[in-house]
Amino acid sequence: MKYYLILISILIFSLIACKQENSSSSQRPAVLTASDAHSFARPEEVVTTHLTLDLNMNFDSKTITGTAVHTIQNHGADTFIVDTKGLMIEEVRLDDSDKSVTPLFGEEDAILGRALKIPVSRKTKTVAIKYSVPRDAAALGWLEPVQTAGKTSPFLYTQGQAILTRTWIPVQDSPGIRFTYEATIHVPPGLMAAMSATNPQQRSSDGVYRFKMDRPVPAYLIALAVGDFDFSPIGKRTGVYAEPPVVEKATYEFADMEKMVEIAEGLYGPYLWDRYDVIILPPSFPFGGMENPKLTFATPTVIAGDRSLVSLIAHELAHSWSGNLVTNATWNDFWLNEGFTTYFENRIMEALYGKEYADMLALLGYQDLQKTVEDLGKGSDDTHLLLDLGGRDPDDGMNSIAYEKGAFFLKRLEQAAGREKFDAFLREYFESHKFQSMSTAGFVSYLKENLLEPNKLDINVDAWVSGSGIPADCPVIESDRFVKVEAVVKTFIKGTPAADLPVREWTTHEWLHFIRHLPKDLNQRKMENLDATFSFSRSGNSEIAVAWYELAIRNTTPDNNYAVAIMPQIEGFLTQVGRRKYLLPLYRAMKESGRLEEAQRIFLASRQNYHSVSNNTLSELLGV
């Protein structure tokens, strides 16, 4: 009986939410979704609609102290449940009462942390939780001055995706639960603070910063950065935050950001987050970028000096629609965030730089997809778009399957429907589901009703969503420029010196295709010739450097020891860069080519420069 009552309450609340969406989508409460295996919260009983934070950043002890006040909506329950992991809860008060209440903790789970169960009444409007965050909280990146670009001030950044926000805020940490938030952040005078909210463009004289996010967002999109950084405008609603030694380079690199916003709006509707700014973090940041609303967090490795890696910015901007505006309901549905965004990114790059350029990017993505399928196994359930991550860290699903297989599924739909109809479908999808969460089942139903059936399209959706590997009807992308690259590879292998190769006008994408298509048993003399001519091992372009390093490491034989010659460069890169996308293939290559002890040594010496997201992955890989 209780089960049916819960279902009825979910249905009623969903209808109410839909009604509120029609009147004011940016102000309405959270949208309830399917059960989330990665959260203890029970939003069908009590749900957060607004969060107010007042937090102090202590750089000496590397701790955070303060209060989180939840404005709640109660559907008749007596317990409000939030997710926590490692937090020290000091006091809980209801509404304006001077008396505290006694919460209960659930059992500890190694991945999920533990539930904080707070007794409430049906009349309770707010729940205030006073707490502190230990220095080893998994979401936090505390950096010493030496680990920054400026070398003079400490730095702090947070990384909430997928389920790490609960390590620095007691919160209902599910992507299916959305709420508005505001924050007062206290930092040492002289430092600046920025969040995924409205942001200052000048430093505060007293170290107090106030933020507001008036659109409902899930917990993983709450983000904070504190450090010695400045703001530089790019367009009327775009700009860059970066440390003083980096800000000028970043401003040059992202000069096309305003154009990207305009192109994205032309494709899929208005940008609904007011501003789109980017902050360049220190190199320990574990991802290329994180799509925190209003303020993308980005790695400095995207700054190549020639704007060749700005597709990452197009990707994070695209998340303003797919991911931030319409969010995956659970982490099993992660492809709804990343597959859509990768497709959208490619469309932005095509509009900005042409189809030929975009096709090269898509082909490199397809190569990444093939490699991931090979690594996981063609029959692996982890090659499905719809995943089953129950009992596992949702980070396990963050790979090329969600990104590239998801994008190629949308390319297949575009191919079948025609671009004009498919674009109209996506525009309406974003508009009709804005500030809501979406499950895979919900999307498939919407897809059939609004695109496939009206246009009599015969697409094997199940093969894409729940099938293993790469479906037989995956679109084929062709690139004349890559065909020419492959011809140059053959010319080099036959004996043409590197200096005589016709490569003067090549882009980063052509160089990557070239390195990826070199023979795995390329002899040392030829590797020396290439590196002496093109300086791959000293490249300022991280994509090219990593591709070259991996080739060298895997190509270690009695007759080819070139990896030893460039190991100082490889080790320097692994020590300085924390981006997991780059670290994982290099450490894995070392392990699989008989260099496990060397990999372990470098990792143990460098891990203090990595975020917990990268540390956890590499620790498991290397067994340390």
pLDDT of residue 342: 97
Which one, of 319, 313, 316, 304, lies nearest residue 352 by Cα?
313
| CA torsion, ordered 355, 360, 364, 366, to nearest 10 deg | 50
- What DSSP string runs through 568-604? HHHHHHHHH---HHHHHHHHHHHHHTT-HHHHHHHHH
**Gap between the Cα atoms of 10 and 13, Å rounded:** 5
Residue-wise pLDDT tens digits, 298-347? 999 999 888 888 999 999 999 999 999 999 999 999 999 999 999 999 99
pLDDT of residue 499: 96
pTM over 0.75? The answer is yes
DSSP assignment letter at 282: P
Q: Return the active site residues.
A: 316, 403
The residue ranges of the chain whose pLDDT is under 50 are 1-33
pLDDT of residue 284: 86
pLDDT of residue 134: 97
Residue 17 Cα to chain centre, angstroms: 28
Q: Report whether 178 contacts 437 (CB < 8 A).
A: yes
Which one, of 245, 311, 339, lies nearest residue 508 by Cα?
311
**Gap between the Cα atoms of 618 and 596, Å rounded:** 12
pLDDT of residue 286: 83
pLDDT of residue 187: 98
pLDDT of residue 490: 96
